[in-house]
Amino acid sequence: MCGRYSIGAEIQALAKQLDNQVPRGFSPNFNAAPSQELPIVPNHKPSSFTLFQWGIVPFWAKEEKKRLINARSETILEKATFKKAFQHRRCLVAAGGYYEWMKTKEGKIPYRICLKDEKPFVFAGIWEHNQQSGQGDFCIITTAASPSVAHIHNRMPVILASEAIDFWLSDSEDYEGLQDILRPTEDALLKAYPVSRQVNNVQNNNASLIAPQNEPV
């Protein structure tokens, strides 16, 4: 799964790469968490990042507490909760890295996973209109973890390859083709390292959270 990630000043590089604009009011977030408003590029407005709330409230939910933050790539066309969004409301989620917790005898150790060249990237996502709040919500699509990080967690968010971005944001109805690009990232592109356990508390939000720790604290 993916339950926490970071997006900082590197969003400027992403905006330049995607030829769009950084949203007003955006502040670097080193501990992005569900229910927060975070920058995405929705397919209906690809010219700029927009702040949407992380976590889709499914149509069958009676309250907003039932937010779904991840959707499995393997079943996204089968689940009624996600199918229509996958077909018509796709998005890019800006990120610099994401966190996963590895289970050990001493407890869970937080790791940050990012690209080896430390360049920013985008997760594949879907979005929905929130009928209760009138705002937009998004969900991150996950897949099986790449072998190099599977020992930390068996799932990972889908990091879209640059050449797949336009296809993902297009109006294509080639749903099988779209599902096919939702693959694990190549091992050669990834790196993972332990970070401070301060990331466990969502109230902590500063650049020290993404710094490597020789011994997790």
User: For residue 62, what is the domain's CATH number?
Assistant: 3.90.1680.10
Q: What is the pTM of this model?
A: 0.94
How many domains are contained in the chain?
1
Is 215 a domain residue? no
pLDDT 10s digits, 71-85: 999 999 999 999 999
pLDDT 10s digits, 67-124: 899 999 999 999 999 999 999 999 999 999 999 999 998 899 999 999 999 999 999 9
Enclosing domain of residue 27: 5-210
pLDDT exceeds 80 at position 63: no
Q: Does the active-site annotation cover 100? A: yes
pLDDT exceeds 70 at position 65: no
Is 68 a domain residue? yes
Buried b (16+ CB within 10 A) or exposed e, 144-179: ebbebbeebbebbbbbbbeebbeebbeeeeeeeebb
Catalytic residue among 37, 100, 114, 128: 100
Is 155 a domain residue? yes
Is 75 a domain residue? yes
pLDDT exceeds 60 at position 216: no
Question: Which H or E run contains 72?
Answer: strand 70-72
Is 216 a domain residue? no
State in Å, rounded, how far the first CA of the chain is from the last one: 23
